[in-house]
Amino acid sequence: MAKFIINGGKQISGSITPSGNKNEALPALMACLLTDQDITLTNVPRIADVLTVCTILENLGVAVSWQNESSVVLNAKNLHSYQPDPDLCIQVRASILLLGPLLSRLGRVELAPPGGDVIGARRLDTHFEGITALGGSLQFGMPIKAKIEQIKGTEIYLDEPSVTATENIVLLAVRCQGRTVIHNAASEPHVNGLCRLLNNMGAKISGIGSNLLTIDGVKDLHGTTYEIGPDFMEIGSFLCLGAIGGGKVTINKVRVHDLRFILKMLNRIGIHPEIGENSLSIDGRKPMRITSDLSGRIGSIYSGPWPAFPTDLMSVAIVAATQATGTIVFHEKMFEGRMFFTDKLMAMGANIVLCDPHRVVVTGPSQLTGTRLSSPDVRAGMALLMAAAVAHGTSEIHNIYQINRGYYQIEEKLRALGVDISLRE
């Protein structure tokens, strides 16, 4: 099995341009099912999850043509199946997003429960409630079976601002009869991106960027060209890496307005980047100091639905905190399995206390030492790469498929910043 070999302790410096947002690209690919015309997507990260979804779509009858490394044209004119390949669906969490567009286009779906990272329970209840409210009938099982005869607009109150549930409901509601209003909708940048793409295709969605989406149904959607936005998870990862790397790192082509709360939270562990119009620069030669609460008590960073700190950045922020002076609590409120990777950091010498499945206490700075590691999920895998890059000695990271699912050409990007990394079979 392939593995990364990292000789740590090298100065990390240079400039980097983030890839397109994986979590925006995946639902954008699904949106092609809503029209028989060409959808051209640019700035698409050609990672494992994207390629898996493209194969699923091809098996359904979609023509998929890569124009270059990051531009793909999709045409679902010959869509012929409502039964996506179950072996492929269980490999990627985003396969759940086939529910909405296939119901809209064919009125029927048989879908294997989705796969993806094992970081805790991920409910499907909100998907079912929203689709049922629009007129669908669903039966949970192996496979999930769903039917709809007529999509009727309605008011939907989500019991949680689920990203994929919001996207599934939007993908179904854009071709409904009448108006749909989604209360407590997710408002992450990738949800907004999907809504903008659909509007480019002829949908009528208002309230984009808020927790209240209004969708006036249209009969048909048409083709368009759309650019996927930069991956703010990748930006946050390289920002944390640059802060502990001993050099200066510049991240180009960022959307600063998408990062304000992320930057606010990272300030608490001493990450203070220079903010340009479309860039961030971080000087890793400057010491990092953790900020306490005003009362002097130990501070905290907690995850939550947007605009709160994203759960997917918890892992890399924890690694950064191991190199800062002070103590801080990380509270993962969304997934009960996110924090378990910290035992690997402890094995490298990090001073971390795992309080329970949702909370860890980090005290730094700690000198990390290279060791043999295995990536449990996408974001933890990136965090382990960071830790290995600043550790003394050599580290081996196995199960790197998990990392490649979410980060495009990560080996090349790290090497360009000065990380001594190689791929071994």
Q: Which residues have a catalytic role annotated?
A: 117
295: Cβ contacts below 8 Å, ≥ 6 apart: none
> How far apart are alpha carbons 72 and 296 in whole angstroms?
53
> How far apart are alpha carbons 194 and 189 in whole angstroms?
9
Q: Which residues pair with 420 in a beta bridge?
A: 7
Distance of alpha carbon 330 from the chain centroid: 19
Decide the pairing of beta strands 39-42 and 224-227.
parallel
Question: Counting beta carbons within 10 angstroms of the beta carbon of residue 154, is it exposed (0 to 12), middle (13 to 18) or buried (19 or more)?
Answer: middle
> How far apart are alpha carbons 313 and 188 in whole angstroms?
14
Distance of alpha carbon 327 from the chain centroid: 28
Cα dihedral 376/377/383/384 (nearest 10): 30
Q: Are 172 and 151 in contact (CB under 8 A)?
A: yes
Q: Are 80 and 149 in contact (CB under 8 A)?
A: no
> How far apart are alpha carbons 251 and 15 in whole angstroms?
6
> How far apart are alpha carbons 35 and 226 in whole angstroms?
15
Residue found by looking up tokens 């192996």 in the block: 142
**CB-CB neighbours of 65 under 10 Å:** 12
Q: What is the DSSP letter of 143?
A: S
Sheet holding 274-275, edge to edge: 12-16, 246-252, 279-283, 274-275
Q: Which residues pair with 12 in a beta bridge?
A: 246
> How far apart are alpha carbons 97 and 170 in whole angstroms?
10
Handedness of CA 181, 184, 186, 189 (dihedral sign): positive
Residue found by looking up tokens 């048409």 in the block: 222
Q: Tell me, what amino acid is at 317?
A: A
Pick from 328, 321, 263: nearest CA to 301: 328
